A and B are shown apart, each in its own frame.
Chain A
C-alpha cells in the first residue's frame, strides 16, 4: 500500500544535484537568441516601425515586427478547447501587435547570434506611436472618456454576467433584519515563479518543435497551431521540469511567437527567454478585484439575503477573462447558504495594465478576502462569535449547487474549524484580547473557504494515461498531466503502485511530456490532476493489472479471480501465498515461443463530477500601532482535501500556499503609474514576495474525509492553501485594533493612515 504514505519525491535526487533538466538545460549546441521589443506607451498604435539600422548590426539575423506577423488573432488562455464557438476563449491578439494595450505590449522581435547583439538591436529599432490617454482602473475604463481597447467590446467591458436566486429585494423586506454593506478591494499581484518563461523552437522534418516551460503542453500545441494557422499536428511541444508556474504558465504567451521565429530562420533553433522584468509586466497577473457586498441577516446570525457586485481589472488582453470573477461569484454562492435570496452582478473590464490570467485558486482568494472580511464585520455588528456565525450559515454535507449541480459528498469544514479553534485556544484568546490599550496589541482571527476540484461542468475534464510493462516486471507510467513542482509525479507513482500492486520503486514515471508521445491531458491547473488524471490512471492501472493476471492465468492455470498482485508478486487471494513474481510473468509474456505479447494499457477517462474541498486559516498577530507594523505570531491552515495521498508533500503544498497568501495579504502589490500606465516595481527588490525573514513558522493540519467521487477518496489541494490566510490576518488585525481594513495588501502605510483616522494614533 503506498497511498497515504509519505513517499519521498521521485525527482528529489535529480533536483538536489542540479541534474533535473529544465528547459534551459535542454540545449548545449548552437542556437540563436530572440528578444522581444515591448511598447513604451500603454495605450496607442504603432504608426511606424523602422528596423533598418538594427538590421545592419552585425550578428542580427532577422527582425519581425507587428507590421508583418500573420494576420491571425488567437486566444492565449490555457482552457480546454471548446467545440462550441460560444464557449471558446476570446481571440484578441496577434503574435505582435500594432494596437498597443499596455506598457510592455509585444511589438517586434529580434533574432540574433547572441544576447548582447539582440539587446543592442532592440535599442536601435525606432518606433513612432499614436498615443491615447492610458487608464489603469476599472472606473476610468468604463467612463465615457476612455478609448475603446478592443473593437468587439464597447465601454471596455469584456463581459458582464448576473444571476438571482430567489428575490433579493423581496427578501430584504422581512421585518427585523439587519443590513451590512461593505466595499472590499484586492490588488494586482504576480505569480513570481523563480524560473522565467522560456522556450526553444526549431524545425524538424517540416514540423515545428517547441520545448517550453509550460503547465499545459497539449494546450500549448493547439494554441501554437491556431496562432500560426497551421494544422495542430505540425506542432510538437516538449515540456521538461519547470521552475514553478502557479497559473502563469497555464497560458500560451510566447511559444507561438518563438515557433513563428524559427520559421523565419530556416528552422534553426531559437531561444526566447524572458527577463524578470518582462515576466512581471508582459505575462500575467492576478486580477485586482473590487466587491460591493450587501447582506440582510437576522439578529441570531442567520443570513437571509446576500448581494455581490464585483469588478475585475482585466488589463490589456482577455486572457482567461471573465472566467475568474465568474468563479469568484460561484465560490461566494457555494461557501454560505442564505435562506432566501442571492443576487450577483459581476463585470470584467479591460484597462491598460498587465493582463490578468489564471493564478493559484482562480479568483477565489480575492472573493474570500471580501466575503470573509464581510462575515467578520457582520459578526462584529451582531455581537456574535465569528465562528458561530460561519457555522450557522456555511455549506453542509448534501448541498447541491443550484446552478452547476455540483454536490457536496464529503465535508470536514466544521472539524477543520474545531481543530483550529482548539489549537489557538480561540475562546480564551478572544476574551483576553478585549479592551486592550497601549501601542502594542494582539489579535486573533480566522477565515474559511470552499473550493472545487477541476473544471467540470463548466469545461471539459478529460485525461489519459499509459502503462507499459518492462521485461523485469517494472512499468513505465506516462500521463499528459504535468509535474510543476507540486509533486504530481510522486503521487501518480504511488497511485500506480497501489492499484497494480507493485512496489513504488518498480513504477518509473516519465516526467517529460512530449505531445508526439504522451497521452492527452489538458494539464496542471484547477487542482485537477490527482482527481481527474488520477481517475484515468486508476482506470488504466486496473486494465493493466487485469492483463497481467490474465497472462498469469495462462501460465499458472489459477482462475483470475483467485489471484491478486501484492508488492510485485502474483499471490493467491485467500492465503497470500506467492505464486510467482510479476517479473516472471513479464519475462514469459515478452519471450514466450507460443504467446508473445507486450502488455500495455492505455485509457482515457472523461470526468463528469466535481468535489468541494474545504479549509480554515487561524492567525494570531501583534500590531505595533504607531508604526503600523503587523507581526504574525502564529498561523495555521487546516484542510479537508479528502484522503491525503502523501501527507508530507501535502503539508509542503500547504506551506507554499500560505506563504503566497501572506504576500497577498501583507506585502505584495504590482503598481502602475496612473498617468502613463508604466509599471513601477517590476523586480524582486521593489515587489515584496515574502523572504525567509518575513515568514513565520507555518503550521498545516488536515481533516481527512472520504470523497466518494475521487479516485482515491481525494479532492483538491494544490490551490486551496493560498485562499484563507489574507482575510484571517485582516480579521486578526481587526480583533487587535478594532479597525477593519478592507483593502489588500495590509501594509504599514494603510494601517497608519487608518489608525490616525480612527484616533488610535
Chain B
C-alpha cells in the first residue's frame, strides 16, 4: 500500500509516494537520491543513517517514512552553503583527519550538528556519551571527537 506524504527535506517542501512499510532511510535514498544516508545494519544499531527530524537525531532506518508527514528533515546535503561551502563541523572532519572510509561520517556529522546547534558545551566525556550511538571501525573515534570538540 502506498501513501502520499508531505514533509520538508533540507528546507524544501516535498511530496512523495511511499510504501507504508518503507523506512525513512529508504525514502531519502531511493526517492530523493540523498546518498549521504548510509545503511550499515537497518535495525538502529550503527547510526550510519542518522538524520535530524524536527531538530533531533534519529536512525532513519527504524523511522517509518509515513511518520515523516509534516516533519522537517535535515541531512548532510542540507548543511552546505549556497556555493557548496562546508559547515564548520564538516570542515573540521577534514582538518582533523576524522574521515577514513567515510561510511559512518555523514551520520556522525548530523548528530554533531544537533549538539553544536544546541549551544551547549559538552565535555569530551559527555561528547563520547552523546555520540556513542555511532559505530565507526576505521578511526577509533579519536579524531572524530577532536573534530566535534573543535566545532563547538
Task: Tell me, rounded to whole Å, the shortest Cβ–Cβ distance linking B4 to chain A.
Answer: 19
Highest count of chain B CB atoms <10 Å: which of A17, A19, A484, A691: A17
A484 and B100 CA atoms in complex are apart in Å by 8
- Known: A116-B21, A655-B142. Is A15-B99 also a contact (CB below 8 A)? yes
- Among B43, B127, B141, contact of A276 (Cβ-Cβ < 8 Å): B43
Tell me the nearest residue of chain A to B147, going by C-beta: A16
Is the pair A16, B76 in contact by a Cβ cutoff of 8 Å?
yes
Task: Tell me, rounded to whole Å, the shortest Cβ–Cβ distance linking A197 to chain B.
Answer: 12
Is the pair B86, A692 in contact by a Cβ cutoff of 8 Å?
no
A657 and B102 CA atoms in complex are apart in Å by 16
Task: Tell me, rounded to whole Å, the shortest Cβ–Cβ distance linking A665 to chain B.
Answer: 13
Task: Tell me, rounded to whole Å, the shortest Cβ–Cβ distance linking B27 to chain A.
Answer: 14
Q: Which of B63-71, B114-122, B128-136 participates in binding chain A?
A: B128-136
Is the pair B46, A194 in contact by a Cβ cutoff of 8 Å?
yes
- Among A196, A487, A683, contact of B45 (Cβ-Cβ < 8 Å): A683
Is the pair B100, A656 in contact by a Cβ cutoff of 8 Å?
yes
Is the pair B97, A15 in contact by a Cβ cutoff of 8 Å?
no
A22 and B35 CA atoms in complex are apart in Å by 9
Note all chain A residues with C-beta closer than 8 A to B97: 6, 8-9, 648-649, 651-652
Is the pair A194, B43 in contact by a Cβ cutoff of 8 Å?
no
Is the pair A698, B140 in contact by a Cβ cutoff of 8 Å?
yes
Q: Which of A239-247, A299-307, A340-348, A584-592 participates in binding chain B?
A: A239-247
Tell me the nearest residue of chain A to B108, going by C-beta: A692
Task: Tell me, rounded to whole Å, the shortest Cβ–Cβ distance linking A236 to chain B.
Answer: 23
A333 and B54 CA atoms in complex are apart in Å by 59
Interface SS, A side = loop
A20 and B142 CA atoms in complex are apart in Å by 23
Note all chain B residues with C-beta closer than 8 A to A12: 93-94, 99
**A689 interface hit (Cβ, 8 Å):** yes
Is the pair B41, A17 in contact by a Cβ cutoff of 8 Å?
no
A:4-25 near B, CB below 8 Å: 6, 8-9, 11-22, 24-25
Task: Tell me, rounded to whole Å, the shortest Cβ–Cβ distance linking B115 to chain A.
Answer: 13
- Among B38, B76, B90, B145, contact of A194 (Cβ-Cβ < 8 Å): B38
**B73 interface hit (Cβ, 8 Å):** no
Is the pair A487, B100 in contact by a Cβ cutoff of 8 Å?
yes
Note all chain B residues with C-beta closer than 8 A to A196: 39-40
Task: Tell me, rounded to whole Å, the shortest Cβ–Cβ distance linking B40 to chain A.
Answer: 4
Tell me the nearest residue of chain B to A685, going by C-beta: B45
**A659 interface hit (Cβ, 8 Å):** yes
Tell me the nearest residue of chain A to B103, going by C-beta: A243
A657 and B140 CA atoms in complex are apart in Å by 7
Task: Tell me, rounded to whole Å, the shortest Cβ–Cβ distance linking B113 to chain A.
Answer: 12
Note all chain A residues with C-beta closer than 8 A to B43: 276, 683
**B2 interface hit (Cβ, 8 Å):** no
Is the pair B101, A193 in contact by a Cβ cutoff of 8 Å?
yes
- Among A25, A487, A684, contact of B46 (Cβ-Cβ < 8 Å): A684
A244 and B135 CA atoms in complex are apart in Å by 12
Tell me the nearest residue of chain B to A660, going by C-beta: B137
Task: Tell me, rounded to whole Å, the shortest Cβ–Cβ distance linking A645 to chain B.
Answer: 13
Is the pair A194, B135 in contact by a Cβ cutoff of 8 Å?
yes
- Known: A486-B100, A692-B145. Is A684-B140 also a contact (CB below 8 A)? no
**B15 interface hit (Cβ, 8 Å):** no
Is the pair B99, A9 in contact by a Cβ cutoff of 8 Å?
yes
Note all chain B residues with C-beta closer than 8 A to A13: 86, 94
**B77 interface hit (Cβ, 8 Å):** yes
Note all chain B residues with C-beta closer than 8 A to A659: 137, 139-141
Is the pair A15, B105 in contact by a Cβ cutoff of 8 Å?
yes
Is the pair A655, B135 in contact by a Cβ cutoff of 8 Å?
no
A340 and B109 CA atoms in complex are apart in Å by 57
Tell me the nearest residue of chain B to A8, going by C-beta: B94
Is the pair A18, B35 in contact by a Cβ cutoff of 8 Å?
yes
Tell me the nearest residue of chain A to B133, going by C-beta: A691
A:657-714 near B, CB below 8 Å: 657-660, 662, 683-685, 689-693, 695, 697-698
Tell me the nearest residue of chain B to A651, going by C-beta: B97
Note all chain A residues with C-beta closer than 8 A to B104: 194
A600 and B80 CA atoms in complex are apart in Å by 37
A698 and B143 CA atoms in complex are apart in Å by 9
B:28-85 near A, CB below 8 Å: 29, 33-43, 45-46, 48, 75-77, 79-80, 84
**A195 interface hit (Cβ, 8 Å):** yes
A:475-518 near B, CB below 8 Å: 484-487
Task: Tell me, rounded to whole Å, the shortest Cβ–Cβ distance linking A650 to chain B.
Answer: 9
Is the pair A16, B140 in contact by a Cβ cutoff of 8 Å?
no
Is the pair A656, B137 in contact by a Cβ cutoff of 8 Å?
yes
A698 and B138 CA atoms in complex are apart in Å by 13
A:195-210 near B, CB below 8 Å: 195-196
Note all chain B residues with C-beta closer than 8 A to A28: 33
- Known: A25-B35, A276-B42. Is A652-B139 also a contact (CB below 8 A)? yes
A662 and B145 CA atoms in complex are apart in Å by 18
Note all chain B residues with C-beta closer than 8 A to A656: 100, 137-140
Is the pair A241, B143 in contact by a Cβ cutoff of 8 Å?
no
**A143 interface hit (Cβ, 8 Å):** no
Task: Tell me, rounded to whole Å, the shortest Cβ–Cβ distance linking A495 to chain B.
Answer: 18
Task: Tell me, rounded to whole Å, the shortest Cβ–Cβ distance linking B20 to chain A.
Answer: 11
Tell me the nearest residue of chain A to B87, going by C-beta: A16
Note all chain A residues with C-beta closer than 8 A to B106: 16, 18
**A167 interface hit (Cβ, 8 Å):** no
Is the pair A193, B77 in contact by a Cβ cutoff of 8 Å?
no
- Known: A18-B75, A684-B45. Is A276-B101 also a contact (CB below 8 A)? no
Is the pair B138, A693 in contact by a Cβ cutoff of 8 Å?
no
- Known: A12-B99, A487-B100, A659-B140. Is A692-B38 also a contact (CB below 8 A)? no
- Known: A243-B40, A692-B132. Is A194-B142 also a contact (CB below 8 A)? no
Task: Tell me, rounded to whole Å, the shortest Cβ–Cβ distance linking A546 to chain B.
Answer: 34
- Known: A195-B103, A484-B101, A692-B132. Is A276-B41 also a contact (CB below 8 A)? yes
A:225-251 near B, CB below 8 Å: 241-244, 246
A194 and B39 CA atoms in complex are apart in Å by 8
Is the pair B135, A689 in contact by a Cβ cutoff of 8 Å?
yes
Note all chain A residues with C-beta closer than 8 A to B90: 16-17
Tell me the nearest residue of chain A to B35, going by C-beta: A25
Note all chain B residues with C-beta closer than 8 A to A14: 102
- Among A16, A22, A653, A662, contact of B103 (Cβ-Cβ < 8 Å): A22
Q: Per-residue 0/1 for A259-292: is the Cβ within 8 Å of any B Cβ (1 yes, 0 no)? A: 0000000000000000110000000000000000
Highest count of chain B CB atoms <10 Å: which of A16, A28, A241, A484: A16
Is the pair A192, B77 in contact by a Cβ cutoff of 8 Å?
no
Is the pair A692, B128 in contact by a Cβ cutoff of 8 Å?
yes
**A218 interface hit (Cβ, 8 Å):** no
Task: Tell me, rounded to whole Å, the shortest Cβ–Cβ distance linking A21 to chain B.
Answer: 7
Is the pair B137, A244 in contact by a Cβ cutoff of 8 Å?
yes
Note all chain A residues with C-beta closer than 8 A to B35: 18-19, 21-22, 25
Is the pair A17, B80 in contact by a Cβ cutoff of 8 Å?
yes
Is the pair A691, B41 in contact by a Cβ cutoff of 8 Å?
no
- Among A242, A484, A684, contact of B135 (Cβ-Cβ < 8 Å): A684
A13 and B34 CA atoms in complex are apart in Å by 16
Note all chain B residues with C-beta closer than 8 A to A18: 34-37, 75-77, 106
Highest count of chain A CB atoms <10 Å: which of B84, B99, B131, B136: B99
Note all chain B residues with C-beta closer than 8 A to A195: 38, 40, 101, 103
**A191 interface hit (Cβ, 8 Å):** yes
Known: A17-B84, A242-B101, A695-B141. 19 other contacts (CB 8 A): A11-B99, A14-B102, A15-B105, A16-B99, A19-B36, A194-B40, A196-B40, A243-B40, A244-B100, A244-B101, A652-B98, A652-B142, A657-B140, A659-B137, A684-B46, A691-B135, A692-B134, A692-B144, A693-B128
A-B contacts, 28 of them at CB < 8 A, read A8-B97, A11-B102, A13-B86, A18-B77, A21-B35, A22-B38, A116-B21, A194-B46, A194-B48, A195-B101, A651-B97, A652-B142, A652-B143, A655-B140, A656-B100, A656-B138, A659-B140, A659-B141, A689-B137, A690-B140, A691-B134, A691-B135, A692-B131, A692-B145, A693-B129, A693-B132, A695-B141, A695-B142
Closest 6 CB pairs of A and B: A18-B36, A485-B101, A243-B103, A659-B140, A15-B102, A655-B140
